């Protein structure tokens, strides 16, 4: 495999330097997966687009998929275009999923990494009554059945060869509830069940199975569903973050996926790796309600006034599930 690597020098501008660094990183990543064959579903936008090894990007958006392959191949120096290809596949279609796996095996002789990344948010309505049956079924079809089919067909070709990797993209919604729709939250929980079941069943074949749970990242899935632009969404994400000074982006998740896919993670199996800057470690609802109620003036002094306000706050904040 050949790469065109522009040399980073101090004379180039910031942008160019970043490009070079990205490129070098890309090359390093590629080396970390050297000789591996990977299928990435839903890789046409946002997350995990820039990968290494022999990568087959699978999506339903043919135009975007092909454009992405071309961009990666020409734009960042990926000179061996046979190492990167696009295949149309609707992950909810058994035949389609079957064919894409067979195609990859016939082209490369094996499949090392199956990255089930496709996911849709569906309607944003978080209420049970507002959840339409059609939307529920569609989200489950793509997020759960699609992930199951991807894993099933991968396992079919992986078992005879042993030592392979299956990855799933889940979400904070796999552990935090109430922030996304019932369908989305349930679908990401369901993927966890699939991932853990596979972990136990596939261990004997040396197939590692893991999941990645990303915090909000301003990719089209989120900007479209929320109806806001990337800059505004990035602001909201940064404001709500525990770890300050960084804005999550698709590459954070891609790097995690590359680690899990590589031999460096040879003992990592059955893990839901949170890529969330500590978001799920805390629950700030009490503090926020407290701050709101006391106008932010309480500093732990427990004056009479504060105690009164605190009592009201405790009642008002309550447990979310106990609110009417």
Annotated active-site positions, please? 171, 184, 188
C-alpha to C-alpha distance for 293 and 314, rounded to whole angstroms: 9
- Answer for which of 210, 219, 262, 313 binds ligand NAD (CB under 6 A) is 219
Burial tier of 184 (Cβ tally within 10 Å: 0-12, 13-18, 19+): buried
57 secondary structure, DSSP code: E
Binding segment for ligand NAD (CB under 6 A), chosen from 25-33, 215-223, 257-265, 291-299, is 215-223
- Answer for which of 1, 12, 17, 45 binds ligand NAD (CB under 6 A) is 45
Residues 61-90 touching ligand NAD, rule: CB under 6 A, are: 61, 89-90
Query: Strands 207-214 and 164-169: what pairing?
Result: parallel
Q: How far is the CB of 121 from ligand NAD (least distance, A)?
A: 7
Pick 155 or 173: Cβ nearer ligand NAD: 173
C-alpha to C-alpha distance for 136 and 181, rounded to whole angstroms: 9
- Answer for which of 222, 226, 228, 265 binds ligand NAD (CB under 6 A) is 222
Q: How far is the CB of 142 from ligand NAD (least distance, A)?
A: 5
Sheet holding 113-116, edge to edge: 84-88, 54-59, 37-41, 113-116, 164-169, 207-214, 272-275
Residues 112-141 touching ligand NAD, rule: CB under 6 A, are: 117-120
Count of Cβ atoms closer than 10 Å to residue 307 Cβ: 12
How many Cα atoms sit within 13 Å of 218 on the Cβ side?
14
Pick 194 or 313: Cβ nearer ligand NAD: 194
Residue nearest to ligand NAD (CB): 119
C-alpha to C-alpha distance for 114 and 208, rounded to whole angstroms: 11
Pick 5 or 246: Cβ nearer ligand NAD: 246
- Answer for which of 56, 59, 97, 182 binds ligand NAD (CB under 6 A) is 59
101 CB-near residues (< 8 Å, 6+ apart):
39, 111, 114, 153, 154, 156, 157
C-alpha to C-alpha distance for 83 and 231, rounded to whole angstroms: 34
Q: How far is the CB of 203 from ligand NAD (least distance, A)?
A: 24
Q: How far is the CB of 59 from ligand NAD (least distance, A)?
A: 4
Contact at 8 Å (CB) between 261 and 163? no
- Answer for which of 60, 87, 186, 261 binds ligand NAD (CB under 6 A) is 60
Pick 94 or 206: Cβ nearer ligand NAD: 94
Q: How far is the CB of 111 from ligand NAD (least distance, A)?
A: 17
C-alpha to C-alpha distance for 208 and 315, rounded to whole angstroms: 47
Q: Radius of gyration over alpha carbons of the chain, in Å?
A: 22
Q: How far is the CB of 9 from ligand NAD (least distance, A)?
A: 34
216 binds ligand NAD (CB under 6 A): yes
Q: How far is the CB of 43 from ligand NAD (least distance, A)?
A: 7
Residue 54, beta-bridge partner list: 37
Residues 165-184 touching ligand NAD, rule: CB under 6 A, are: 169, 171
Contact at 8 Å (CB) between 126 and 268? no
Q: How many chain residues are in contact with ligand NAD, going by CB under 6 A? A: 28
- Sites of contact with ligand NAD (CB under 6 A): 41-42, 44-47, 59-61, 89-92, 117-120, 142, 146, 169, 171, 214, 216-217, 219-222
């Amino acid at each position: 495999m050949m790469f065109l690597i522009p040399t980073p020098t101090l004379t180039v501008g910031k942008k160019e330097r970043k490009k070079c660094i990205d490129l070098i990183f890309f090359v390093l990543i590629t080396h970390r997966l050297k000789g591996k064959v990977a299928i990435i579903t839903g890789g046409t936008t946002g997350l995990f687009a820039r990968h290494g090894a022999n990568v087959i990007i699978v999506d339903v958006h043919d135009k975007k998929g092909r454009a992405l392959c071309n961009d990666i191949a020409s734009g960042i120096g990926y000179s061996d275009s046979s190492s990167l290809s696009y295949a149309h596949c609707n992950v909810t279609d058994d035949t389609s999923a079957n064919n894409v796996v067979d195609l990859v095996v016939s082209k490369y002789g094996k499949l090392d990494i199956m990255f089930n990344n496709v996911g849709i948010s569906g309607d944003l309505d978080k209420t049970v009554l507002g959840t339409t049956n059609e939307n529920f079924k569609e989200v489950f079809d793509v997020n759960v059945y699609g992930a199951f089919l991807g894993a099933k067909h991968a396992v079919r070709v992986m078992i005879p060869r042993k030592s392979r990797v299956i990855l799933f993209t889940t979400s904070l919604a796999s552990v935090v509830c109430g922030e996304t729709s019932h369908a989305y939250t349930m679908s990401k929980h369901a993927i966890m069940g699939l991932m853990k079941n596979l972990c136990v069943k596939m261990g004997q074949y040396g197939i590692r199975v893991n999941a990645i749970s990303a915090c909000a990242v301003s990719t089209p899935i989120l900007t479209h569903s929320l109806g806001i632009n990337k800059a505004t969404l990035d602001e909201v994400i940064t404001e709500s973050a525990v770890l300050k000074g960084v804005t999550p982006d698709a590459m954070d998740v891609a790097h995690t996926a590359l680690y899990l896919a590589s031999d460096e993670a040879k003992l990592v199996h059955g893990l839901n790796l949170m890529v969330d800057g500590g978001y799920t470690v805390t629950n700030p609802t009490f503090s926020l309600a407290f701050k709101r109620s006391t106008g932010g003036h309480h500093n732990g002094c427990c004056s009479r006034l504060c105690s009164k306000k605190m009592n009201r706050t405790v009642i008002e904040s309550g447990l979310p599930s106990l609110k009417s």
